[in-house]
């Protein structure tokens, strides 16, 4: 590493960690399997998180947010995800994608209009980039916005959208120019209740089942030009910058899930007796735990490095991609090993690691697959 980084823990971080841990143990842990099994999106929980300032962690206080930095934000996401990945994912999407996009690229009038509602969770926010036939290939999106007087008329659909049904507004990337050109995409805010804006199919997912994932459908949806974020044609560039920060979010989500699975595996290995002694005393188990702990530590260092650069407004495309790629892959490995340590019990829903195992896989897919992260990293180191 070519420069020094500051990872020192502040009193604020310690207070936030305790607050998040206490909240998660009281309000999330008792319900995680109920929500997971029935695919319940606990909307009221996010209102509670909003009252604690956790739905506007990065939003300045003048807009109703907490005005904190990325290190504190990582602590919030890790703390929640250590208990439930679904809640951590939903929390991350609201903070870093929708709210983060308006914070970074909205004008003063737009910020004053929407950020106070988002930061307090009076409104929940969705963010729409992906479509059914354009996942990683976002430049060929089909959703269009056509000018008509003082409005845009939007037609198309977005897939895999967190809060796609329950969100009160969405930042939507739409094609306003030529397909395949980065300058052909713009970002427009669409409020729920706008005629022609509706929710479509809700996905039945392997994991993250308490995090709502649906289609958003636009059928001659008329939106004022005042809802355009930045300039026409800036949408794709904006989205890529938003995803730089979003990668820190997903990396933190992965880290929290990995830590939760690791905690459960350590506790179980100390309690579970075989051949007259705890299984933690066997080298096969203790070495597995050593590998898990080392990879978690390395993932956290990459995340803290990216967060530090983000806080200092330094370029961090490479570092955030590295953090997201490594942490998400570590998350899957740690969750897999945790199930192995639990043995047959790890395969049942009576113990926590099977849910960590199911939730972990999303981290290698969401907000850019591991393969896309490698493309980003390679591009950065080769230019």
Does 1 have pLDDT greater than 80?
no
One-character DSSP codes across 166-206: T-SEEEEEEE-S-TT-GGGEEEEEEETT-TTEEEEEEP--S
- Alpha carbon distance 125, 141 (integer Å): 21
Q: How confident is the model at residue 364 (pLDDT cuts 50, 70, 90)?
A: very high
Taking all residues of the chain, what is their mean pLDDT, rounded to a whole number?
96
Cβ-Cβ contacts under 8 Å for 188 (sequence gap 6 or more): 145, 152, 154, 171, 172, 174, 223, 227, 228, 229, 235
Res 3: pLDDT: 66
Alpha carbon 138 to its chain's center: 18
Active site residue 367: yes
**Per-residue pLDDT tens digits for 170-191:** 999 999 999 989 899 999 999 9
CB 213 within 8 A of CB 158: no
Stated pTM of the model: 0.97
**Per-residue pLDDT tens digits for 206-232:** 999 999 999 999 999 999 999 999 999
**Per-residue pLDDT tens digits for 284-342:** 999 999 999 999 999 999 999 999 999 999 999 999 999 999 999 999 999 999 999 99
- Alpha carbon distance 157, 296 (integer Å): 38
Instruction: Classify 157 as helix, strand or coil.
Output: strand
Short-list 64, 215, 201, CA closest to 126: 215
**Per-residue pLDDT tens digits for 94-129:** 999 999 999 999 999 999 999 999 999 999 999 999
Residue 304: count other Cβ atoms within 10 Å of its Cβ. 20
Catalytic member of 215, 300, 329, 367: 367
Res 182: pLDDT: 87
Res 2: pLDDT: 52
């Amino acid at each position: 590493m070519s420069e020094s980084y500051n990872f020192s823990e502040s009193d604020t971080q310690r207070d936030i960690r305790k607050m998040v841990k206490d909240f998660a143990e009281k309000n999330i842990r008792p319900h995680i399997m109920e929500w997971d099994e029935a695919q319940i999106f606990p909307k009221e929980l996010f209102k509670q998180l909003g009252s604690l300032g956790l739905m506007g962690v990065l939003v300045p206080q003048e807009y109703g947010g907490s005005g904190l930095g990325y290190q504190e934000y990582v602590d919030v996401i890790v703390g929640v995800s250590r208990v439930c990945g679904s809640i951590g994912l939903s929390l991350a999407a609201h903070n870093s994608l929708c709210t983060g996009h308006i914070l970074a690229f909205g004008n003063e009038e737009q910020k004053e209009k929407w950020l106070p509602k988002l930061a307090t969770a009076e409104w929940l926010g969705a963010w729409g980039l992906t479509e059914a036939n354009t996942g990683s290939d976002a430049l060929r999106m089909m959703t269009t916005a056509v000018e008509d007087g003082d409005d845009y008329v939007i037609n198309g659909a977005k897939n895999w959208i967190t809060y796609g049904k329950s969100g009160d507004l969405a930042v939507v990337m739409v094609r306003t120019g030529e397909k395949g050109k980065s300058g052909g995409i713009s970002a427009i805010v669409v409020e729920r209740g706008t005629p022609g804006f509706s929710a479509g199919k809700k996905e039945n997912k392997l994991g993250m089942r308490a995090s709502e994932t649906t289609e958003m459908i636009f059928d001659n949806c008329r939106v004022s030009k005042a809802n355009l974020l930045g300039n026409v044609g800036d949408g794709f560039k904006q989205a890529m910058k938003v995803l730089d920060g979003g990668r820190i979010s997903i990396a933190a989500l992965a880290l929290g899930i990995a830590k939760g699975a690791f905690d459960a595996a350590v506790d179980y290995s100390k309690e579970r007796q075989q051949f007259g002694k705890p299984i933690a005393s066997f080298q096969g188990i203790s070495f597995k735990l050593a590998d898990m702990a080392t990879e978690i530590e390395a993932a956290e260092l990459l995340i803290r490095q990216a967060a530090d650069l983000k806080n200092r407004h330094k370029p961090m495309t490479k570092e955030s991609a590295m953090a997201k790629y490594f942490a998400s892959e570590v998350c899957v490995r740690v969750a897999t090993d945790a199930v192995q340590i639990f043995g047959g019990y790890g395969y049942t829903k009576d113990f926590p690691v099977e849910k960590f195992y199911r939730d972990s896989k999303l981290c290698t897919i969401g907000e850019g697959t591991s393969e896309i992260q490698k493309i980003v990293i390679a591009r950065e180191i080769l230019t």
